[in-house]
Amino acid sequence: MTLLDSIGMALLRRLDPEQAHGLALTALRLGAAPAPGLVTSARLRTTLAGLPLANPLGLAAGFDKNATALSGLSRAGFGFIEVGAATPRPQPGNPRPRLFRLPEDGAVINRFGFNNDGMEAIARRLETRPRDAVLGLNLGANKDSPDRARDYATVLERCGPWLDFATVNVSSPNTEKLRELQGKAALAELLAGVTETRDRLQNRPRLFLKIAPDLDRAALEDVAEVALASGIDGIVATNTTLARDGLRSASATEAGGLSGAPLFERSTQVLARLARLTRGRLPLIGVGGISNADDAYAKIRAGASAVQLYTALAYRGLSLVTEIAEGLDRLLARDGFDNVAQAVGASTEDWT
């Protein structure tokens, strides 16, 4: 971490977490945040469902919910960026406070509840997106929607023409009964509607599915079966967890989804199981608890073609992206891999 990053992070940590998040987005939007630049190499360049990536490090959804800082984020060193989640109509989300730091655990709990400006405002921002970035949108459903499955297709239809990929988010724990859409029959019906919409779009963005880390083995088998049959392009593993094992911080009992370091093992186990179930037929994106190059490398070796970061950035700043990319390049070279794709799934057995 640079001195500037250290000073900036120290100041942000004095603020309420959601205020600090908003200030960081404002700095990115105004070009006032550090722009680490892109780290790439022959070893780091790869593809994700056919999308060319300069490196396999992505920004997870939730950081820029409303697509307000696309230009700044495109200069932050990520190989790809995911914004959102977006819902058809604007919604305020859950009452504040709804974001809690757990510094002793390197974690965060949030219960935002899909707060966002709605698809119309977000679509207008996507229209002027940076063309040199690989950009995706997390799709959500309105809390009071009479047809949540239809909401996902509605957002994709409106925003899809400006996207490289879209992610169906049925795994947020902060919208009541949303995770029920991960059930076999409900998921198959939902994905049928979304893939039909995707196939009507001229640019045909890639379509991913984001799952929870709290699925048991039988439920995960059902998800894999439905995903493989649906025509989607990949799976994001995983979202936040409802588990609270071993936490030490004062806010550990707050309701919401837990992200950060405590999620790493749980999410990586799900990722490895999914890799074995899908046997390379769908690319996987590893998310959950990545805070250094070793973590990113472990996700890749467990079966991830690419990874995403979020919570660790709240503690370490954007310079972490450069640090992880450079460290990952060194780890690949150490182990004799000419390209990161060669390391994908190299050690799924370590996570049985």
Q: What are the pLDDT digits (tens) for 225-257?
A: 999 999 999 999 999 999 999 999 999 999 999
Averaged pLDDT, 126-141: 97
Choice between 15 and 116, residue whose per-residue pLDDT is larger: 116
Burial label, 76 (beta-carbon count in 10 A; 0-12, 13-18, 19+) = buried
What's the distance, Cα to Cα, between the start and end of the chain in Å? 34
**How confident is residue 140, by pLDDT bands cut at 50, 70 and 90?**
very high
**How confident is residue 290, by pLDDT bands cut at 50, 70 and 90?**
very high
Residue 32, pLDDT score: 85
Q: What are the pLDDT digits (tens) for 72-115?
A: 999 999 999 999 999 999 999 999 999 999 999 999 999 999 99
Residue 168, pLDDT score: 97
**How confident is residue 34, by pLDDT bands cut at 50, 70 and 90?**
confident
Residue 3, pLDDT score: 39
Residue 190 pLDDT greater than 80, yes or no: yes
The kind and range of the H/E element at 166 are strand 165-169
CA dihedral 117, 81, 308, 114 (to 10 degrees): 10
Average pLDDT of the chain, as a whole number: 94
Residue 351 pLDDT greater than 90, yes or no: no
Burial label, 171 (beta-carbon count in 10 A; 0-12, 13-18, 19+) = buried
Residue 4, pLDDT score: 45
**How confident is residue 182, by pLDDT bands cut at 50, 70 and 90?**
confident
Task: Give the relative orientation of helices 3-12 and 17-29 as an angle to the nearest 10 degrees.
Answer: 140
Q: Does domain 3-351 have CATH number 3.20.20.70?
A: yes
Quote the percentage of the chain above a pLDDT of 90: 88
Residue 173 pLDDT greater than 90, yes or no: no
336 contacts: CB under 8 Å, gap ≥ 6: none
Residue 9 pLDDT greater than 90, yes or no: no
Bridge partners (DSSP) of residue 209 are 168, 235
**How confident is residue 331, by pLDDT bands cut at 50, 70 and 90?**
very high
Q: Where are the domains of the chain?
A: 3-351
Residue 7, pLDDT score: 42
As annotated, the active-site residues are 172
**How confident is residue 265, by pLDDT bands cut at 50, 70 and 90?**
very high
